[in-house]
Amino acid sequence: MFKSIFSNSFGILISRVTGLARDIMMTSALGANVWSDVFLMAFKFPNLFRRIFAEGSFTQSFIPSYIASSQKSVFAVAIFIRFMAFIVALSFLVTLFPAFFTKLLAWDWGEDLIAQTAPLTAINFWYLDLIFIVTFLGTLLQHKEHFFTTAFSTVWLNIAMVAALFLFSQSDPKTIVYALSFSILIGGLLQVATHLYSIRRQGLLKLLVGGWKYRKTKNVKTEESKFSSLFFPSLLGNSTAQIASFIDTSLASFLVAGSVSYLFYANRIFQLPFAIIALAITTALFPSIAKAIKNDNHSLAYKNLHKSFWLLSALLGLSVLGGVLLAEPIVWLLFERGNFTIQDTRNTADVLMMYMVGLIPFGLAKLFSLYLYSMHKHMKAAKIAALSLGINLIFSLLLMKPMGAAGLALAGSIGGAVQLILTVKEVGWNLFFDLLKTKLSLYFVAGMTLFGVLFYYLNQYVLHLIR
């Protein structure tokens, strides 16, 4: 299990580090202004669906149905055709009516700004088609317990965008955002190519070819129905954080210029520990817990959960302390250059602190939700996610005016806390308290206190140097 966690974490780490390099170059080229808002808004739809697909909803529904199917190759191809046909049709619809879909994202933007953003929305949306292919192939690889390719593949997207920024860094902002949009498609094609190479190396290419060949002669309606009954609840259950971020961006369009960018850059930093720690651990842990529960071996499932709980809590705890107490130095180090000003740094740091408050709740909620998905309680997880999302929306509307973009971030963290409480309640408070009834709880409190003091004084020292 820990070998899988390490390979997954390592791939995600490389991906996120190159992503930060991309964002650093983007802030230098565009800053936090109207043009950066335009590009980020256009990329919001495909990026939202990329995160939803990549963070478990498809995998947690596909793998149980795939394992149960007696016609695995035909089932896999049938699901691929169904999804791909829908996504391609939707992409054509967005291409034909880009202004309408852009308006869905930016409710309060004027017609001129919508007109500037609409063509970029049409270009960026085609990335969704490519990322679904990546997700589908990546799920087949995960079934073979191969995680690195999918975790690493976003590096190609980042490299393509960095190349565009390097080549067009001296151009006007409009040219830069168009170059970035086309580079996203190039990066998506590279991601697909990487997965096809790994599929071939893992011996899965024959499976897909066979599934296509026999798709009309084999009946997999039962497996498709089972998949559908699991997928849509899982989609909502796994996408709370992403939908919350989507809501944040849409509501931020009502705020002062730059608010969309402050949320994006702060969320990028938040996503680094969330992906490297929470996603890597839960992705690698899901197959082992699912198999243990299926075999009625609850002691093994609890053992894996216990180890992962404390590893996750310690790493996320350190991340929260660092993100809250060192927010301004972190944003200064990563982004304050070129058109990104001191005030942009301070505004982004305020948002980052509010996001980081929700890191532990979101991470632990994802861990405990594995029990729900392993026991096929996808609908229960979906109801919990829907309720937490509703709480998030209520607090977003209450806090956005007095706190601005930071209020939207705090509302998301409150929603994450609600999701954790409800998920633990469903799994069982006894299980949760059993995890806490160890000496590790004392070590955790002592360690967090020590590092909290160290990070506080480090923040004071760094701010004295840079300001």
Whether 243 shows a pLDDT value over 70: the answer reads yes
Using pLDDT thresholds of 50, 70 and 90, give the confidence band for residue 207: confident
Residue pair 32/265 in contact (Cβ under 8 Å)? The answer is: yes
What's the pLDDT band for 78 if we cut at 50, 70, 90? confident
Contact 270, 352 (CB under 8 A): yes
Most confident of 79-83, 190-194, 431-435: 190-194
Lowest mean pLDDT, pick from 182-186, 213-217, 248-252: 213-217
Contact call for residues 116 and 39 (beta carbons, < 8 A):
no
Per domain, the residue ranges of the chain are: 1-228, 239-467
Write down the pLDDT at residue 170: 81
The dihedral over CA atoms of 30, 31, 32, 35, expressed in degrees to the nearest 10, equals -20
283: tokens are 């992705």
Name which of 215, 152, 208, 196 is nearest 19 in CA terms.
152
- In this prediction the pTM is 0.72
Q: First vs last Cα of the chain: how many Å apart?
A: 45
Instruction: Output the CA angle 117-181-53, nearest 5 degrees.
Output: 95
Residue found by looking up tokens 């967005």 in the block: 94
Which 8-state DSSP code applies to residue 33? S
pLDDT at 353: 95
Using alpha carbons only, give the angle 272, 277, 280 rounded to the nearest 5 degrees: 105
At 152-200, the pLDDT tens digits run 888 999 999 999 988 987 888 888 889 999 999 999 999 999 999 999 8
Q: How far out from the chain centre does Cα 193 lie?
A: 22
Mean pLDDT of 401-406: 90
Please state, in angstroms and rounded to a whole number, the distance separating the CA atoms of residues 153 and 149. 6
Q: Do 142 and 130 contact (CB within 8 A), yes or no? A: no
Nearest alpha-carbon partner for 399 in 347, 348, 351? 351
Task: Give 304-324 pLDDT, tens digit per residue.
Answer: 778 788 888 999 999 999 999
List pLDDT tens digits, range 334-368: 888 777 888 889 999 999 999 999 999 999 998 88
44-52 vs 240-252: helix crossing angle, rounded to 10: 170
Q: Which two tokens stand for residue 258?
A: 């730059």
